[in-house]
Amino acid sequence: MLTNSGGPIPPSSPFESPSLRLILLTALTMTAFAANSVLGRMAIGSGETPLIDPATYSAVRLIAGAVALALIVWFSMARRGQSELARSGSWSSAFALFVYAAAFSYAYVALDTGVGALILFACVQATMIGWSLKEGDRPSPLEWLGLLTAFGAFIWLVSPGLAAPDPLAAAAMAVSGIAWGAYSLRGRGLPDPLKATADNFLRSVVFLAPLGVLVAIAGLPVHATGSGLVLAVLSGAVTSGIGYALWYRVLKQIGGTQGAIVQLTVPVIAAFGGTLFLAEAWTLRLAVSSVLILGGVALAILAKQRRG
The domain spans of the chain are 20-307
How does pLDDT run across 60-77, given as a tens digit for each residue? 999 999 999 999 998 888
Q: Which of 90, 64, 115 is nearest to 200 (CA)?
A: 90
Question: Considering all CA atoms of the chain, what is the largest pairwise distance in Å, rounded to the nearest integer?
Answer: 77
Whether the per-residue pLDDT at 87 is higher than 50: the answer is yes
Q: Say how many CA atoms lie within 13 Å of 90 toward its Cβ.
A: 11
For residue 28, give the nearest of 233, 265, 293 by alpha carbon.
Answer: 265
Using CA atoms in the order 109, 115, 120, 125, what is the torsion angle rounded to 10 degrees? -170
The SS3 assignment for 224 reads strand
- Our CA dihedral for 192, 193, 198, 199, rounded to 10 degrees, sits at 70
Model pTM score: 0.87
> Which has more confidence, 56 or 193?
56
Q: What is the pLDDT of residue 190?
A: 81
- From CA 91, how far away is CA 214, in angstroms rounded? 20
Whether 55 has a pLDDT exceeding 50, the answer reads yes
